[in-house]
Amino acid sequence: MGVHPGHQVVIVGAGPTGVTAATLLARYGVESLVLDRWSTVYPQPRAVHLDDEVYRIVDRLGIAEEFAEISRPALGLRLLDPKLNVLAEFRRDPAHTPHGYPQANMFDQPEFEALLRANLANYSQVTLRGNAEVTDIAQIGSGRSKVTFTDRGDGREHSVEADYLLGCDGANSMVRSRIGATMRDLRFDQRWLVIDVATTTDLGQWEGVHQVCNPNRAGTFMQIGDTRYRWEFRLLPGETAADFATLSALRPLIAPWTGRVGDDHLELIRVAEYTFRARIAETWRRDNTFLLGDAAHLTPPFIGQGMGAGLRDAMNLSWKLAGVLDGSLPPAALDTYEQERKPHARRMIGLALTVGHAMTAGGRVGDLLRRAVVPRMHLLPGMRAKVMDSTTPPLSSSRLVHKGGSRLAGTLCPNAATADGRRIDAVLGDDFGLVAAREPQLADRLLAERLGARVCVAEPGGELAEWLHRGRVEAAIIRPDRAVLRAGADVSALCQALGSPAR
């Protein structure tokens, strides 16, 4: 057996969640080893959407401009009846968002993963090892783990020690099974057909997401790139992907969108069957081992939040883990990962289930209700804005979210423009921040800066000033993941609190 030097962090799984975690940790100088069973990016497209909140994480990785080149904004949502008549249409304006990015972004996952890995290569703190099948993990005392893996190329067995272990190894997570975590079944299992097609021919379709609300054959259509399109259809009992292996077999399903475009102008990239499930791990941590991404939660794709949830996990945990490793945060800060992320993920799964049931449930009665109610949704006060709003729920209270009566605590600070034209994410970088409605007292500013926070004074009448005003506070402490740690009217007290954020 090959025995290797120890690492601060070992990450099992080099999908979007694992690579994001490794990159964010590297930005704090944390060294890690990433092990993945595949030699290169997994070639099959899966996730196709991320929202503006997750786009901010992509920007933190340093690849926002590159991601913009391989993605396209979706211009909204159409709800269709079984005959594909439009029940309701909700349009988005990609240029006007609270975070500076379109609220719905479509992309091809293999392209995105290739971009993530190319960026990861810029960080010397990270070693990525492919063809590495992790076979066992074990606690070896002193808060360390031993990870055993097999090189799938030559069959040799290796082991490495880690201070912390991150299980980013997907729905069938070996790490999850080794730490004894069980998945809670949220009682949703549906078999769906997923179709990816490429064509340079313009299909002439509306450039948003089409949701077919049909209890017999619910479906989704979306353009995910300049030449890439995806359809998803619920499979009927007895059907399998093999029944739809050719374009001619798919024609009855996709013809409403492809029209007269001939098969010679369509390239069938893949047809696959997926079972959409809703699951959440009962525990996300044991000792120094943490679960992230699909290892911790499975979200049906109806709101496009599955992959994004994993990136949120990585963003939430990385700065806390880096702080514990460098001594700026106490070990108790790591307890907040599950406390904050698990309720958030559960609520997003619940929202996905609501949308899924709305698309597929109710039989003929459900159809009649949808035809009666959905076309009138826009008449309900605020309903259009609510459907289009990509804002996710605030984080639950923890040592690092002090609500104390403030409605801002646990929410994301908007990525608003500052007085010098930069957005707040660029101003704060990877650090804590103090956002204030007016210039703090010199002693407060010096204290905040000494404690590692960057100070940003909101421009009068600007987005940040309005955000603080709506929250009825004078200032807010912003965490490195841009969630509000605490907010209030007493700026001096907030500055003092920076000295012990997790105690």
Q: Rounded to 5 degrees, what are φ and ψ at 324? A: -65, -40
pLDDT > 70? residue 376:
no
- CB-CB contact of 379 with 318 (8 Å): no
CA-closest candidate to residue 415, choices 66, 72, 54: 54
Give 381's pLDDT tier (boundaries 50, 70, 90): very low
User: Would you state the pLDDT for residue 183?
Assistant: 96
Rounded Cα–Cα distance for residues 15 and 8 (Å): 20
In the predicted structure, residue 425 carries a pLDDT above the cut 60: yes
Answer whether residue 294 shows pLDDT above 70: yes
* 0.85 surpassed by pTM: yes
Tell whether domain 2-48+109-182+282-350 is in CATH 3.60.20.30.
no
Q: Give the total residue count for the chain.
A: 503
Q: Do domains 185-277 and 394-503 have the same CATH topology?
A: no
Structure tokens given for 285: 């941590």
How many Å apart are CA 305 and CA 279, to the nearest integer? Answer: 14
Q: Rounded CA gap, 154 and 262, in Å?
A: 47
The candidate with the shortest Cα–Cα distance to 413, out of 460, 466, 362, 337, is: 466
Per-domain residue ranges of the chain? 2-48+109-182+282-350, 185-277, 394-503
User: Among positive and negative, which fits the CA dihedral 72, 75, 80, 86?
Assistant: negative
- Mention every residue, 6+ apart, whose C-beta is less than 8 A from residue 37: 130, 131, 132, 133, 134, 152
CB atoms within 10 A of CB 270: 12
- Inform me whether the pLDDT recorded for 377 exceeds 90: no
Strand 484-488 relative to strand 475-478: parallel, antiparallel, unpaired? antiparallel
Instruction: Give the least confident one: 243-247, 251-255, 301-305.
Output: 301-305
Question: At 366, is the pLDDT very low, low, confident or very high (cuts 50, 70, 90)?
Answer: very low
CA distance 223 to 208: 7
Looking up tokens 């603080």 gives: 468
How far, in Å, are 106, 151, 467 from residue 393 at the CA level? Answer: 22, 42, 17
469, 474, 485: which is closest to 428 by C-alpha?
485
- What integer best gives the mean pLDDT of the chain? 90
**HSE-up of residue 429 (Cα within 13 Å, Cβ side):** 7
Pairwise CA distance, residues 12 & 20, whole Å: 12
Give tens-digit pLDDT for 430-484. 999 999 999 999 998 998 898 889 999 999 999 999 999 999 999 999 999 999 9
Q: Is 423 helix (H, G, I), strand (E, B) or coil?
A: strand
C-alpha pair distances (Å), 423 with each of 54, 155, 203, 366, 390: 16, 50, 37, 45, 19
Fold of 185-277: D-Amino Acid Oxidase; Chain A, domain 2 (3.30.9)
* Spatial separation of the C-alpha atoms in residues 377 and 359, rounded to whole Å: 15
Residue with tokens 């210039």: 439
Q: Classify domain 394-503 at the CATH topology level.
A: Glutaredoxin (3.40.30)
Under the banding of pLDDT at 50, 70 and 90, the label for residue 369 is very low
Mean pLDDT value across residues 177-201: 94
DSSP codes joined into one string, 246-293:
SHHHHHHHHHHHHTT--GGG-EEEEEEEEEEEEEEES-SEETTEEE-G
Whole-angstrom Cα distance, residue 371 to residue 197? Answer: 30
